[in-house]
Structure 1
Amino acid sequence: MRKVVLYIATSLDGYIASPDGSVEWLPTPPPNEDYGYGNFLATADATLQGRATYEQVLTLGDWPYPTLTNYVFTRRPPTEPAHPSVHFVTEDPVSFVSQLKQQEGNTIWLIGGSMLAAPLLAAGVVDELMLFIVPQLLGAGIPLWRAQPQPRPLVLLNQQAWPDGMALLHYQLPAQESQQAVGRSAQQ
């Protein structure tokens, strides 16, 4: 079964974007440093994005994920043409991603945002969290975390810090009964 990894940068106070949705506060990596992004990207063959995240990515220049299959969840698919690798999804994210995990393939990268991540986390379809903590306090913005229906224990897989203050916390989310039930029903 494929795994879903929420791989995301957050400010130390838990924001993934400024109040206007921009990410200009994210630092430019030092020369010859990508904080392991290239290695992670080489493991993925699909992305999951909410509509706001997709629109933010579009402002950064050329489409950065042309070799991946990109699923953008939205209530209103745009009328303008998208990159051929982009597929707009209007169905329930939990059902869609649960089925996607059953297909052959590599890591599924949950890029964001928090409105998409929250129901996927609550349903137990996210397998790992890779949180890059940016050493900044934004004070306000779009929060990484949305309310969850119950506490979830995490298992620390790895941690790493860089001289510029960036830090990676890599966690595994133990399987929930609801996710295990989805997997069993998909196999029957």
Structure 2
Amino acid sequence: MRKLTYYVGATLDGFIAAPDGDFEVLMQYVSGDFLSFMVGEFPETLPTPGRTALGAADAPNRRFDTVLMGRGTYEPGLPVGLANPYAHLRQLVFSRSLTQSPDPAVEVTAADPLTRVRALKQEDGLGIWLCGGADLAGQLLPEIDELIVKQYPVVTGSGIPMFRAGFAPHTFRLEASRTFDNGVAVLTYAKSD
């Protein structure tokens, strides 16, 4: 069975973006040995233009062959012409308001995320990457098998949380951690409940 992994960057206080959705405060840390780690270990999580710019355009997908996004994660790329942000992956965008895909390679669906992910997990292939955002992560929390949190050494006080959901504890166990020269820690958790 395929695994659903929420691979996400977050502040020390658990926010994935500023209240307006901007995540530049996090992107300043994507450099040096941390960037090399991302290119080497998670090349498929880099948007297609980034892969090309970093010389990883032909890097094989190591962990994931499918990416899931909410509309709020997908839509910011559209004004800059990025309608197919992960051309090297199967792309699904969950949205109740976006009714048509601006690119034939991107599937837009209003289907129930839990039902759809349960079906995806039964298919053959590599893992499924939950890219974001908070609403979709909150809905899919019962199906998340692994959390890989790129924890950035900054506290913002507010913003978009990693999960937007009602109170319903789910436990995970820390399986691995790695720190980088710029203070970023990558924490890998497996579902334990």
TM-score (norm 1): 0.83
1:163 lines up with 2:174 in the alignment: no
Identify the match of residue 66 of structure 1 among 87, 90, 100: 87
Report the CA distance between 1:56 and its aligned residue.
2.7
**What percentage of residue pairs aligned between the two structures are identical?**
38
Aligned pairs (5 A) from 1:11-160: 11-26=11-26, 27-31=28-32, 33-34=34-35, 36-38=37-39, 39-40=41-42, 41=44, 42=61, 43-58=63-78, 62=82, 63-79=84-100, 81-82=102-103, 84-121=104-141, 124-160=142-178
Asked whether the equivalents of residues 135 and 165 of structure 2 are also in contact (C-alpha less than 8 Å), the reply is no
- Which residue identity does 1:151 align to in structure 2? P
- Over aligned residues, Cα RMSD in angstroms? 2.0
Asked whether the equivalents of residues 68 and 85 of structure 1 are also in contact (C-alpha less than 8 Å), the reply is no
2: CA distance, partners of 1:134 / 1:61: 28
Over 3 Å counting, the alpha-carbon distance change for 1:60 and 1:131 in structure 2 is farther
2: CA distance, partners of 1:94 / 1:130: 20
Report the CA distance between 1:100 and its aligned residue.
0.7
How big is each residue's C-alpha offset from its partner over 1:24-68, in whole Å with a ceiling of 9 and x where there is no partner? 112242246426323233211000100000013446764431010
- Which residue identity does 2:38 align to in structure 1? Y
Secondary structure of the 1:170 match is strand
Query: Aligned residues, how many?
Result: 172
- Which residue identity does 1:158 align to in structure 2? A
Report the CA distance between 1:21 and its aligned residue.
0.8
Displaced runs of 4+ in structure 1, greater than 3 A? 57-64, 147-150
Higher share of residues assigned helix: 2
- Which residue identity does 1:19 align to in structure 2? P
Asked whether the equivalents of residues 113 and 144 of structure 1 are also in contact (C-alpha less than 8 Å), the reply is yes
Q: Structure 1: 5+ residue runs without aligned partners? A: 177-188
1: CA distance, partners of 2:80 / 2:153: 22
2: CA distance, partners of 1:115 / 1:100: 19
Q: Structure 2: 5+ residue runs without aligned partners? A: 45-60
Secondary structure of the 1:13 match is coil
TM-score (norm 2): 0.81
Asked whether the equivalents of residues 64 and 129 of structure 2 are also in contact (C-alpha less than 8 Å), the reply is yes
Judge which range, 111-120 or 24-33, deviates more. 24-33
